[in-house]
Structure 1
Amino acid sequence: MASFPWSATDVVDLPTIGTPVDTLTDLGAVPGGPGARLAAARRQGADFKREFVTTGRPDSVTTCDLVTLPYPTRFGLFRASRSVAPFLSITNRMLVIRWHDTDGRSRVLLFEPSDVELGKYTPYFDRLAQRTPDVLARRMVTEHETVLGHLARLGIAPEDVDYVLFDHLHTQDLRRWVGTTAHQDDLGGRPEPLLPRAKVVVQRDELAAMAELHPLQRPWYQPGTYRDVPPGAFLPIEGSVLLGPGVAVVKTPGHVFGNQSLVLHTSTGVWVSSENVIAAECLTPEHSRLPGLARWSREWGQEVVLNANSLETTADQYNSVVLEKTLADPSQDDPRFLQFFPSSELTGAWTNPGTNPTFSHRTLTHTS
């Protein structure tokens, strides 16, 4: 089984980034069980939010659609959905965030800049594609625009990108973004980094887990693609950090051990983005018209519906979603739902009956 050529200890001395957020501590260190950690998540989230909104706002946030693809309903809506459709559709989107540091230097962060072409070779999706006839696949998958195409449209040069951030590294192949140290047979050479200055901001916990994957994790990672990625391409962080005015990375473990969420302070309040859930209504399922969600939430006494393709630590993921729920402000379009922007958002399709979302954000846009 191909793996990282370096262990997590090899990145200990790499430079890190941001200002640590003392308000959000490691919930795993909270005395007691997962219920005690859930209560702590609510308290810490409220405390952090009060501090966070005083840090300012970024200059701009722009949404860029990358790909719409099928995803198993039993994963995306966990045990709650009563839809007859085995698959739903999700749209993976990139956010482009720009701000100025206190010294006046401009910064560009790409959140979820997936290399859609290479992401197809993730074991789970690769096997799914092999079982799906081409004519059906063309109906189920829509590629919208590439990362570089979006940057060109926005007038951002690739060399101006400072940071690359994912909520977790499922499906991600980073070689074209940050380059490699050796020839890559499948890429026809040794690729020069297309984002030459960009560093990948990632939790040390995820790097540690990827160094030796568990069988529950293997369908979702491409560890062999990291074999020749230089360790210096990463900016490993531990916990939650403030990156810039109104821009924070909050550790939200559970979906993977080193999961993290992007938190933004915009003109409409606080937004949170991750793939912990696939629809805003999964944070307030009592208001959902999706078949089964409201009833399931009521009968089981669970206030959120997880994106559960990878059950690494389910109780921790639940607690992390409640933390995200505590941070996000109500939507100005419909206050029953929160300003939670799924990095892969549930998207209605006629081929997937019973999976049309009650409410969708589709874009997250901010200009200061």
Structure 2
Amino acid sequence: MTLKHPWLTTDAADMPTIGTPIDTLGGLGDVPGGFGARLSWARRRAAAFRPEFASTGTPDSVTTCDLVTLPYPTRMGLFRASRAIAPFVAITNRMLVIRWTETDGRRRTLLFEPSDVELGRNTPYFAALARKFPAFVQSITVREHGDVPGHLRRLGIDPADVDYLLFDHLHTQDLRRWIGVTKPQADLGGEVEAVFPHAKVIVQRDELVAMADLHPLQRPWYQPGTFDDVDPGRFLPIDGSVVLAPGVAIVATPGHVMGNQTLVLNTSTGIWASSENAIAAECLTPQHSRMPGIAKWSRAWEQEIVLNANTLETTAGQYNSIVLEKTLVDVSQQDSRFLQFFPSSELTPMWTNPGTSPTFTHGHITHQTTTVPA
């Protein structure tokens, strides 16, 4: 079989990488036994990493930017647990802007989940979903809050100063406008000049390799053809978990996809984790959920978390990864029943979706050091 974009496998092993490996979270693949043994491993290692990570310090600032609210199947977002009559929930995709200062005084900027919402609509699953609903229904259920360049202008950040782009995984992503291409793109009107001329995309090497030959369960969620003409030099593959900066870590959380990863932040309110492994903070403490069916299902089946499950690549692995996230983070200062897990796509109340209004939402992460270098 000829791979459509062979650079994903032929060059991935030779690409430069970044960050300091987290030994405490390494070795999952060597754990003897089954998924139960790996679950115990995740609890122990995450608990051990908490003080280690907190000692690295904090970034200069963390800012949240809303991108789009859109419908998502309830059976996927609240996997097996929901008894809501609504077939869809609403989720809000958000970007985090993280800034820190290196030891040499240079400021760095990382964008977490900077999705190109317009091009993301071409994802096979969402494109098929859109075809089923007339325009007036879409106008009610889809709300765009702002785009990536617009948010950066509001924050006074020059796109040329953005160093890194990071996604928990590459579902729905089309990065051509962000990082440029090696030849003209017919569907984008020809030449494409990179919005972020210096930014590198940090991604798990496992996901890059997997995208070269997608499984049928994966195909509805990726746009692999959009990677054919991007420069492989714009990627920084990592293997597992790394500390990127003071109070900034990327932790491997496989399951939702093979190369899933979680952004972990140490802030003025403690440790946060952000990914799409779950769509609501209450999915990590479902016993406190007031949504129909969630708490009862959790008790009946002795499940301590509720998955966001669309691809179901490795369900037990994703469960273990959420428990790792759950163990890493601190309790919310707004409500001690919930944890500082910030879904990159967060469940959002909407009148069109009865029975799916979250019990609790974070809405944003805000962090600012007392003195931020100019």
Q: Same fold (TM over 0.5)?
A: yes
- Kept in 2, the 8 Å contact 1:3–1:226? The answer is no
- 1:181 is aligned to 182
- In the alignment, the residues of structure 1 paired with residue 298 and residue 90 of structure 2 have an alpha-carbon distance, to the nearest angstrom, of 22
Q: Secondary structure at the match of 2:25?
A: coil
Q: Secondary structure at the match of 1:271?
A: strand
- In the alignment, the residues of structure 2 paired with residue 27 and residue 293 of structure 1 have an alpha-carbon distance, to the nearest angstrom, of 30
- 1:6 is aligned to 7
- 2:334 is aligned to 333
Report matched runs for 1:164-313 at 5 Å: 164-313=165-314
Residue type of the alignment partner of 1:276: N
- Kept in 2, the 8 Å contact 1:41–1:323? The answer is yes
- Kept in 1, the 8 Å contact 2:67–2:94? The answer is yes
- In the alignment, the residues of structure 2 paired with residue 263 and residue 6 of structure 1 have an alpha-carbon distance, to the nearest angstrom, of 29
- 1:363 is aligned to 364
Change (3 A) 1:3 1:350: farther
Change (3 A) 1:282 1:215: same
- In the alignment, the residues of structure 1 paired with residue 342 and residue 3 of structure 2 have an alpha-carbon distance, to the nearest angstrom, of 34
Deviates more, 1:98-107 or 1:215-224: 98-107
TM-score (norm 2): 0.97
TM-score (norm 1): 0.99
Q: CA deviation at 1:29?
A: 1.8
Q: CA deviation at 1:46?
A: 0.7
- In the alignment, the residues of structure 2 paired with residue 111 and residue 121 of structure 1 have an alpha-carbon distance, to the nearest angstrom, of 21
- 1:162 is aligned to 163
Residue type of the alignment partner of 1:286: Q
- In the alignment, the residues of structure 2 paired with residue 180 and residue 26 of structure 1 have an alpha-carbon distance, to the nearest angstrom, of 36
- 1:101 is aligned to 102
- In the alignment, the residues of structure 2 paired with residue 276 and residue 158 of structure 1 have an alpha-carbon distance, to the nearest angstrom, of 29
Report matched runs for 1:60-209 at 5 Å: 60-209=61-210
- Kept in 2, the 8 Å contact 1:16–1:235? The answer is yes
- In the alignment, the residues of structure 1 paired with residue 192 and residue 27 of structure 2 have an alpha-carbon distance, to the nearest angstrom, of 38
Q: Deviations over 1:104-125 (max 9, x none)?
A: 1100000000000000000000
Task: Say what the alpha-carbon RMSD is for the aligned residues.
Answer: 1.0
- 2:23 is aligned to 22
- Kept in 2, the 8 Å contact 1:3–1:210? The answer is no
Change (3 A) 1:224 1:2: farther
- In the alignment, the residues of structure 2 paired with residue 286 and residue 274 of structure 1 have an alpha-carbon distance, to the nearest angstrom, of 21
Residue type of the alignment partner of 1:11: A
Q: Secondary structure at the match of 1:168?
A: coil
Q: Deviations over 1:168-193 (max 9, x none)?
A: 00000000000000110011012011
Report matched runs for 1:312-351 at 5 Å: 312-351=313-352
Residue type of the alignment partner of 1:312: E
Q: CA deviation at 1:5?
A: 3.9
Q: Deviations over 1:75-116 (max 9, x none)?
A: 000000000000010000000000011221100000000000
Change (3 A) 1:123 1:17: same
Q: CA deviation at 1:45?
A: 0.2
- Kept in 1, the 8 Å contact 2:3–2:212? The answer is no
- In the alignment, the residues of structure 1 paired with residue 43 and residue 341 of structure 2 have an alpha-carbon distance, to the nearest angstrom, of 16
Q: CA deviation at 1:28?
A: 2.4
**Is 1:43 paired with 2:37?**
no
- Kept in 2, the 8 Å contact 1:210–1:223? The answer is yes
Residue type of the alignment partner of 1:330: V
- 2:372 is aligned to none
Q: Secondary structure at the match of 1:93?
A: strand
Q: Secondary structure at the match of 1:177?
A: helix
Structure 2: where are the runs of 5+ without partners? 370-374
- Kept in 1, the 8 Å contact 2:3–2:213? The answer is no
Q: Secondary structure at the match of 1:124?
A: helix
Structure 1: where are the runs of 5+ without partners? none
Q: CA deviation at 1:159?
A: 0.3
Residue-pair matches, total = 368
- Kept in 1, the 8 Å contact 2:42–2:323? The answer is yes
Deviates more, 1:267-276 or 1:18-27: 18-27
- 2:57 is aligned to 56
Q: CA deviation at 1:2?
A: 8.4
Residue type of the alignment partner of 1:74: R
- In the alignment, the residues of structure 2 paired with residue 73 and residue 258 of structure 1 have an alpha-carbon distance, to the nearest angstrom, of 24
- In the alignment, the residues of structure 2 paired with residue 83 and residue 280 of structure 1 have an alpha-carbon distance, to the nearest angstrom, of 18
Q: Secondary structure at the match of 1:23?
A: helix
- Kept in 2, the 8 Å contact 1:170–1:221? The answer is yes
- Percent identity of the aligned residues? 71
Consecutive aligned runs of 4 or more in structure 1 exceeding 3 Å deviation: none
Q: CA deviation at 1:331?
A: 0.2
Deviates more, 1:1-10 or 1:298-307: 1-10
Q: Secondary structure at the match of 2:291?
A: coil
- Kept in 1, the 8 Å contact 2:242–2:250? The answer is yes
Q: Deviations over 1:248-284 (max 9, x none)?
A: 0000000000000000000000000000000000000
- In the alignment, the residues of structure 1 paired with residue 38 and residue 359 of structure 2 have an alpha-carbon distance, to the nearest angstrom, of 30
- In the alignment, the residues of structure 1 paired with residue 40 and residue 10 of structure 2 have an alpha-carbon distance, to the nearest angstrom, of 33
Q: CA deviation at 1:14?
A: 1.4
